[in-house]
Every structure is written in C-alpha cells, then in structure tokens.
Structure 1
C-alpha cells in the first residue's frame, strides 16, 4: 500500500501561493493524459473558490506538438517552466518511451528534467521510462503500464518494478500505470497536498471515483460485473458495509448480504475490486477517519469508534501503517483546507 503522506512536510502547499504544475509534453503525447492533469488539478480550489494549482503545458521546444490522435496541441511554455515548478508531470508517448535506455535522454530533455531537481516529479503510463532514463528512479520502486512492465524491468535493472499496482509514491518521485491510473495518481497528489475532502470535491466535479488505493491491481478480472451473467455481485454488501463502518463487520456478515458462501464471496470480491474484503474495509475506515479529522473536532478515540477501529491506539496504528503519519499530524496539516460537500458527509456512498 502506498505511503500516502510520506514526506508530508514537502507535500504541503504554501498557504498564499498556488502550487505550479508543469506538464512536460513530447511528440506523440496522449491527449487524455494531458487533459486529465489540467482537469483534475484545475478543479482543486479553496472554500472561497481560489485555485490551488497553476497548470502550465510546456515542451523542450515550445510550439505545436504532435499527439497520437489526428490533431496537434500547442505548448506555450519552454523548459524554463520546469525550473520554477513545484510538480512536474511527464505523460507518455508511445512513439519514444519504450526505446529509451539508461542515460539515453536527448540533451534538451535531460537538461529540462535536471532543472526540475527541486520539484516533485510524476509520470503517467510509460512516462516512467523517461524518469528511469534520467536516473530518477534508481534504487526506487516504480510502476508503468502492465504491457510494458517486463521491458521496463529488463531495460532498467536499477529500478524495482511493481507491475500490479495503480501507482507508486516514493516521496519526491511518483509513477502510475495506464491512462486511467493517471487520474488516481493526480487525485492522490491533491489528497497529499490538501487532504481527502479537497480531493473528493475534485473527483465529484469530474465524476470519477474519489479514491482507489495505489496498491490496487491494474487489471481486475471483473471490473464491471453483470449480475444477469454472473448471477450476483458484491456491490450490495459493499454499500451495506459503507453505511456501517463503525460496527463490527465480519467476512461471514458480508457474504451473507450477497447470499454467497464465504469462499465464493472472497473470490468474487477480489475479482471485482482487486482487494480482499478486509483490506477494502480497512481502506474505507481510514478514509472515514481522515474525513472526520479534517471536518470535525472529535477526539481521536471518538473518531476511532465512528470509523470502526475501536480504540485510538488501533486508529494510530492503522494511520501510521497506511499514511506514515499520526492522526494528530494529519489533522494539523489538513484542517482548514477542506471543501466539504453541501448536505453530505463526504462522498462515502460513491466508494463502492
């Protein structure tokens, strides 16, 4: 599971200035990957509506950039934008990425990335080949699209490749799998910067799932199950569990809600979510605890009870294991940056 608040001090955005996100595009860029960065970071705002990010599209040579579609895009900014960026995002291009070797970046691209040495750097899909070729992933864990993971591992033996996850957060450097996983990665960075309520508000505006853990499988065998074909799904028990996170929940209880044996239910649940039932419940309980820490003045013990952890000690243990920080540190960092949804308690009903 990704350490979502690793290096928390680095990820916290300055109070009165917007965080500058530079998206570095190259010929053959996938328009969706460029668009999702603008859409997600561009929708992150304070309570008063002030944008939290400034997004800049840049290239080694500013101007028209070829895409993998039948239209080009225009990059108005050059590599100087990377030098002043707080975050640099490198989308993929199927024209170039898989041909890259260690130290094999052209001089202009290498210099551009070197100028961003103080920035957080993230890749989408095979953009990880660029970060690896620049040496930014040496000695670290990383992921890329599962179809390219074997080649990535062969080409960059200094990188520990995890082909089965949506994204990997190594603090300053982050990598994600395919295009859709880029959405998860961007929301993860927004959540790391401003807390779960801001990220949930962005997800709600763009109508995407608010939170998929980085450790979730890239490829899920039955991502959109059809009850008429499969006989049943686990969605009813997940909805039931979300409304009862504060109660004791057992695997037998969940299986009974969907009229399955425990064995069948466990297998079906993993096929549909990429997680075991108990892993999924723990993640949702951490989500709930984060929301309560951001949006209420409840004590840690009360939050632990409402989220289903039972005791403050248990909550602290799960927070440390999942996020790398204590509940108190998380609250001190993210209180005041939330954008609570009107008339709701935080989007739990969509996390099914």
Structure 2
C-alpha cells in the first residue's frame, strides 16, 4: 500500500497515541472519583429492588424513593452515632495494647505460653523444631522499630478513618442521586437503542438491573448476619474488642468466596494474641482456648452460610456456575481490587443473561 502523505499519517498516529496516553492519565488521576461513582451506582442498583417493592405496595415513585433514602440515611446516622465511637475507642485500645506488648513485654514468654499449651493439649506434636524456627525469626526482627511504628501510627489511622468517612459521605450523596434519577437515567440509555430493538433491549436491561440489585442486597444481608452474630458470639466468649472484630466480619463478608474465610482468620488470630483480652464473657476463656473456640464457631458458621443462609438469600439472583464465580472474582480483584471483586460477579451474571437469552437463541435459529 502506497502512502501518499507520510507526514500527515505520522502526525495523525502521533496525535492518536497522545490522546490515548492523555485518556489513560486522566483515568488514573480520576480513579478515586470513578471509584466513588462506581460504588454509588452499584449501591443504587441494590436499592432499586427495595424501591420497586414499595411501588408494588401502591406507593408513588417519589414516595418509595423518599422512604428508601430516609431508611439509608437512618442506617448511616445510626452507624455513625452508635457504632463508630465504640469502634474508634476499641481501635485505639487495640493499638495501645499491641504497643505495650511489643515495647514492654517479653515476647519469648508469650510464645512460650503458647508452646506449653500446645504440648499440654497435643502431646503427640513435636514443637521444638518449629519453636527454634520461631526464635530465629523473632531475633531477626527489629522489635523496637516495630513498636515505634505502631505507636506512631495512631494519628495516621485516625486520619484514614476520617478520610474514609468523607468518602463514604460522598458515596452516600451520589447513591441518593442515582436512586432518585434511575428511571430518567435508564430512559436516556434506552433512547440510544434503535426503536425496532428497544423492547428486547429493555427486557434484558431490566433483568440485569434486577439481578445486580438482588445480588447487592443479598451480599449486604450476609454481611449483616455475620456481623451481628459475630458481635453476639464474641461478646459472650469474652473476645477482645468485639465491636471491631464484628465490623471486620461484616466488611469481609461483602467479598465473594474468600471474604468470610479471611475475616474469620483475622478474628481467630486476634483472639490468639495473649494480653489483648480474654477472661471475660460468660465462660472466662483465655487465649489460646479462646481462639480455638472462635475457630470452631466460624468453621460451623461458614458451613451454615454456604449451604443454608446464602442459597436462601441469593435465590432471586442469577445462578452462576462455581468456576465462573471463581474466575470472575479473581479477575475483578486483579482489575479493581475490592470494588472489582464485588462488581465482578454481577457483571458475570449479566453476561450469562445475554449469553443465554441472546447468543444461544440466535445460534439455534441458524
């Protein structure tokens, strides 16, 4: 192929590359804002089934949106007024306890207690060699600098918490706006589709919106159940900082597949640390017995959640094969971290709807 004007072609190609780099840089610069918008849109789709349920109870659209928004605001205000002060106080206590343990305690004595407990309860296990590895690893650490970093990170953590609540407030405002304007937004999107194909497109879009909405509600419900049950259980057994650990259980339950397991592991490991608590509750359990009881509870809970709670809550969402769930969650986490992992499964469900109702019927007609 003969190029008649090489300079013009090179200029256009250079400008194209420059525009592409500019777009990539703009996306990176606006990543936080895009994260807020994506989260708010995701949550607004989760609120849409609630608005639809209220509309079926003969409430007008504006009243259903108002009731839903007031409910969200009430939950948000309740979390701030009731839960946040307790969580912040317990986080400060937790950091202070860890700082005291690292700076003033003999960690060899603490680990020796764990070693003796293992030998007493599991006499068949030879822990001497493992203990030697632990000692060698511990002596290689600069404990003093670690303690200084932990003690000096309190202000940073508090600043991060404040910034997080600022971002949560922005997401809340955007969620309210998207929820109130969902019909107009959908109508604007539908107008872009040719009139001959618009009814079919609207039908598929509504199915996708319903699927995403039920998934969001189901995932949040699982998180609330795990958080509430964790708060009750950890308070009964006298675990350290039950409010903080209950919040950990709630947020990690929002992550598909590995969220509950990861949150449970963090809680059990926290209960395993001597000096952070224990001896309270109804049974006066001490670490590491406290951690063992917590581990048994979460093993049982994960089975109940997987086979009883989750199927009942997610029964209205689109059924997705297990392999697709794993691949979608991993790909979403790699591309968008936590939000990507949360959004990946509804996106996979949407693709499955298109695959089953559009691609397969067209192939069968040929």
Bigger proportion of residues as helix: 2
Bigger proportion of residues as strand: 1
Name the larger-Rg structure. Answer: 2
TM-score scaled by length of structure 1: 0.24
